[in-house]
């Protein structure tokens, strides 16, 4: 039965990916085609809902945003008018919000509920490309950016039963994210990757494949150039939530890797026993 979707981490990068897709946008299109093909196969179905943890939806404690309907939020400034004209209306998931709330609370994690809606660009930018129909119910969950990777792994683990219920759990951030390096400068989009970014990504993919969770939880001390590539780490933290939903027993698989501006890496990962199955339906 093609009803289980591997928890996934997507690097959303700059909002400009919505109108200048580049390699990451092309990967999102392939991912959307793969999801559709999987749903169309015998016994298949689309995700019953999508839980999104974005680096731009943060709170002091976890909060479910259980609105019945969402609109795209243009939570950025200084970009072309074309970008602000984009819309992504999507159904909300109030029932899924209640179910997620109950699972998180049962794990002993304090969780709050809100009827608020709205999809930040870390959510609607990839979803608009992956599923332009806008027909998947979306539940954003805010997370605390001061929680440790291990705490956030436990938050994701609390939601693991939802994979059996056809829910797709997605973290959205960027595998490297140092805006001080001046990404967006004219003529630099295709710049060669800097050595620090390459070393960090290489360490991360190796430790992920080895299921070296203690090292990954302590990445800020152990990974090369970790603090340089993440002066603040809210863009990497959703990786740990998705990983927790996949569990410790299965390795993390990198589905895509690319870099823009020489340092903003757009890697995507899948987690858990369903990871190879999701990877296997991606068109070439």
235 inside domain: yes
Task: Dig out the tokens for 230 from the structure.
Answer: 């993440």
The chain-wide mean pLDDT, for the chain, equals: 93
254 Cβ contact list (under 8 Å, min separation 6): 205, 208, 267, 268, 269
Higher confidence at residue 240 or residue 77?
240
Burial 231-256 (b: 16+ CB within 10 A, else e): eebbbbbbbbbbbbbbbeebbbbbbb
Question: What's the predicted TM-score (pTM) here?
Answer: 0.96
Range of the domain at 135: 8-280
236 Cβ contact list (under 8 Å, min separation 6): 173, 174, 175, 177, 219, 230
Domain count, the chain: 1
232 inside domain: yes
Instruction: Find the CATH number of the domain harbouring 33.
Output: 3.40.830.10
Torsion of CA 208, 14, 225, 246, to 10 degrees: -20
Question: Backbone phi, then psi, for 141, in 5-degree steps?
Answer: -125, 120
pLDDT, tens digit, 9 for 90 and up, residues 71-110? 999 988 888 899 999 999 999 999 999 999 999 999 999 9
Q: Are strands 8-11 and 167-173 parallel, antiparallel or unpaired?
A: parallel
108 inside domain: yes
2 inside domain: no
Between vectors from CA 204 to CA 207 and to CA 138, what angle results, nearest 5°? 110
At residue 250, the pLDDT reads 85
Task: Give strand pairing partners of 49.
Answer: 167
62 inside domain: yes
pLDDT at 232 exceeding the cut of 80? yes
3 inside domain: no
1 inside domain: no
pLDDT, tens digit, 9 for 90 and up, residues 4-41? 999 999 999 888 889 988 999 999 999 999 999 989 99
What is the spatial distance between Cα 269 and Cα 10, in angstroms, rounded to a whole number? Answer: 7
């Amino acid at each position: 039965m093609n009803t289980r979707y591997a928890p996934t981490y997507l690097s959303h990068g700059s909002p400009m990916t919505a109108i200048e897709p580049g390699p990451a946008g092309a990967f999102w299109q392939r991912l959307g085609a793969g999801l559709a093909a999987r749903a169309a196969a015998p016994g298949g179905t689309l995700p019953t809902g999508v839980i999104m943890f974005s680096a731009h939806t943060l709170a002091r404690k976890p909060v479910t945003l259980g609105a019945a309907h969402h609109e795209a939020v243009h939570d950025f400034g200084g970009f072309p008018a074309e970008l602000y004209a984009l819309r992504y209306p999507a159904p909300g998931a109030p029932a899924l919000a209640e179910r997620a709330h109950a699972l998180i609370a049962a794990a002993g994690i304090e969780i709050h509920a809100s009827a608020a809606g709205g999809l930040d660009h870390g959510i609607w930018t990839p979803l608009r490309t992956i599923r332009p129909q806008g027909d998947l119910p979306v539940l954003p969950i805010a997370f605390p950016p001061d929680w440790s990777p291990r705490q956030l792994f436990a938050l994701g683990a609390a939601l693991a039963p939802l994979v059996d219920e056809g829910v797709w759990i997605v973290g959205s951030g960027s595998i490297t994210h140092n805006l001080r390096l001046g990404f967006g400068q004219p003529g630099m989009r295709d710049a060669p990757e800097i050595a620090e970014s390459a070393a960090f990504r290489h360490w991360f993919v190796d430790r992920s494949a080895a299921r070296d969770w203690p090292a990954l939880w302590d990445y800020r001390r152990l990974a090369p150039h970790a603090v340089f590539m993440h002066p603040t780490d809210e863009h990497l933290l959703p990786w740990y939530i998705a990983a927790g939903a996949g569990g410790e027993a299965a390795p993390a698989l990198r589905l895509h890797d690319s870099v823009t501006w020489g340092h903003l890496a757009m890697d995507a990962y899948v987690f858990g026993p369903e990871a190879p199955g999701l990877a296997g339906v991606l068109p070439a």
